[in-house]
Structure 1
Amino acid sequence: MACFSDRIMTTDNSSTLSPSTETPTHRPIRSFIRREGRLTAAQIRAINELLPAIELKADGAVLDMNVLFGRTAPVTLEIGFGNGESLLEMAAAAPNEDFIGIEVHRPGVGHLALGIERLGLTNIRIVAEDAVPFIRDRIADASLDRLLLYFPDPWHKARHHKRRIVQTEFANLVGQKLKKGGLWHLATDWAPYAEHMRTVLDAHPDFSSEHVGIGEAARPSWRPETKFERRGIRLQHAVFDLLYRRTNMPEPTA
């Protein structure tokens, strides 16, 4: 894919500027590229009529999860839900838990909204914007029970490795938002990226690994198999599931 879902990519969204009237500014590297596929009539209806009631914007006050969902329950955040089928399956299987899904690909957003309507689910909210600002600004510290990152873009070329979302800076942010004992679950079908993930997170003081060995062929029962994953398996790619538990937490200030 060309968005957050199964392949998380990047864009600078730059436009042509006149050097005489505009001053170039630094643009942060993003972990996605916004490429719109064709929207069906049903997806257009879902975005126009269903999404507003369940959408969370990147701008706004820090969220109180108990107020947002009207109850106290474990909260899982998924970055890049693709067409939303795996998120729907997880949320339907865990009605006593709450879920936030992030995806910038509008057909996927519309597909998920339709699925929520079809199944009558009330435990999912959707973010259709960049994940990092939303997590940084709207998620309270130590408020997430799980963060899911399934099949992000591996950025195969060495010169593009800096675009990978799994970097120490992002791990710092995830560690800040997870509760003590919270779980970061990552999955990839690209062995060099799995190695990169392990290199970053094995060295990070906030996390301890819980996967067996290098995480190959270790999909937990709670993670549905994705469409992209099945394609990778057909191409004889190994699939890695990496589990990292949030351990160290800062001491509260007096």
Structure 2
Amino acid sequence: MSFTNSPKQDQKRGIRTFHARQGRISPLTAKTITSHQGSFILDPQAPFDPIATFGATPVIFDIGCGFGEATTAMATAQPEIAIVAFDVHVRGIARLLQEVDHGNLTNVRALNTDAVSYLNHMVPTDCLDGVRIYFPDPWPKARHNKRRLIQPDFVRLLVSAMKSGATLHCATDWQPYAEHMLKVLTNCSELTNTVQDFAPRPQWRPVTRYESAGIAKGHEIFDLIFRRT
């Protein structure tokens, strides 16, 4: 069986928020994906059932998990929660699953799909205890700003899936995007900022590879933590 990094765009969305990278993957990556199908990898074409998947454990969506280092660090430090990690790139999902195996983690599941489409079609309302979106693509060029993940329509999708009291935690090292996030989240009537503007960096949030790259460039890090009313 062969796999390719070729996520399909949801025809109803129109605008893609991620870079589509093509290419064949290694035999190890293919083996990792195949061996975890039906167990740690959820079916992107099946409705999400939090009770069937995790029982009564609180569920967090980690959107854009990259290679999974932060995801597995959070799952290790917080065994009382369950994390569903999203990424459109199969190599990242494979690396995440290798880390899950290495840590013998049982509270992580993966979805190799576009979170926007999945939230649109497969996620019931009021089922999430939190959403974490760390260092999404900032799309820094003005003509690409519309591709940014954090937009009013997407936030409405998140809010619909979140329980009352659930938290939405975003982080970025790109100041214009941080200001955009703050405006979009503040303008959502069903979200309340936990602080006045940007939140102090929580000590429990792991440093991601994208965050490290931003720090190396001298970028300031911005955290935003909002609560569902």
Q: TM-score, normalised by structure 1?
A: 0.81
Does 1:245 pair with 2:227?
yes
* Aligned-pair CA distance for 1:233: 0.4
Q: How does 1:183-202 map to 2 (within 5 A)?
A: 183-202=167-186
Identity %: 37
Structure-1 separation of matches of 2:153 and 2:107: 30
Residues 1:140 and 2:119 aligned together:
no
Rg comparison, structure with higher value:
1
2:202 is aligned, of 209, 220, 245, to: 220
Residue 97 of structure 1 and its aligned partner are, at CA, apart by 1.2
**Could you say if the C-alpha distance between residues 68 and 27 of structure 1 is closer, same or farther in structure 2, counting changes exceeding 3 Å?**
closer
Alignment of 1:164-203 (within 5 A): 164-203=148-187
- Indicate whether 1:59 and 2:59 are aligned: no
Q: How does 1:158-169 map to 2 (within 5 A)?
A: 158-169=142-153
> 1:27: Cα distance to partner?
6.2
- Residue 68 of structure 1 deviates from its aligned partner by 1.1
CA distance in 2, matches of 1:64, 1:106: 23
Alignment of 1:68 with 2:68, yes or no, is: no
Q: Distance in 2 between matches of 1:68 and 1:27?
A: 27
Q: Does 1:47 align with 2:33?
A: yes
1:107 corresponds to which letter in structure 2? R
Name the counterpart of 2:212. Answer: 230
* SS across alignment from 1:53: coil
Query: Could you list the runs of 5+ residues in structure 2 that have no partner in the other structure?
Result: 1-6
Distance in 1 (CA, whole Å) between partners of 2:62 and 2:180 is 20
Q: CA deviation at 1:167?
A: 0.9
Equivalent residue number for residue 152 of structure 1? 136
Q: How far 1:44 sits from its partner (Å)?
A: 2.6
Q: Is the CA contact (8 Å cut-off) linking 1:12 and 1:30 kept in structure 2?
A: no
Distance 1:75 1:26 in 2: 27
Residue matched to 1:30: 16
Report the Cα distance in structure 2 between the residues aligned to 1:141 and 1:35, rounded to whole angstroms: 32
The alignment partner of 2:188 has SS state of: coil
CA 38–232 in structure 1, closer or farther in 2 if over 3 Å, else same: farther
Question: Across the two proteins, how many residue pairs are aligned to each other?
Answer: 223
- Aligned twin of 2:4: none
Q: Closer, same or farther in 2 for the Cα pair 1:222/1:138, shift >3 Å?
A: farther
State the one-letter code of the partner of 2:206: P
Cα distance in structure 2, aligned partners of 1:204 and 1:108:
31
- 1:125, distance to aligned residue in structure 2 (A): 0.9
Alpha-carbon separation, structure 1, partners of 2:73 and 2:196: 25
TM-score (norm. length: structure 2): 0.90
Query: In 1, are the aligned partners of 2:125 and 2:160 still within 8 Å (CA)?
Result: yes
The 3-state SS of whatever aligns with 1:82 is coil
The farther-off stretch of 198-207 and 27-36 is 27-36
- 2:122 & 2:181 partners in 1: Cα distance? 25
3-state SS of paired residue (1:110): helix
Which 5+ residue runs of structure 1 have no aligned equivalent? Answer: 1-10, 14-24, 248-254
Task: Assess, with a 3 A threshold, how the Cα gap between structure 1 residues 26 and 97 changes in structure 2: closer, same or farther.
Answer: closer
1:212, CA displacement in angstroms? 5.2
In 2, the alpha carbon distance for the partners of 1:95 and 1:26 equals 37
C-alpha RMSD of matched pairs (Å): 2.1
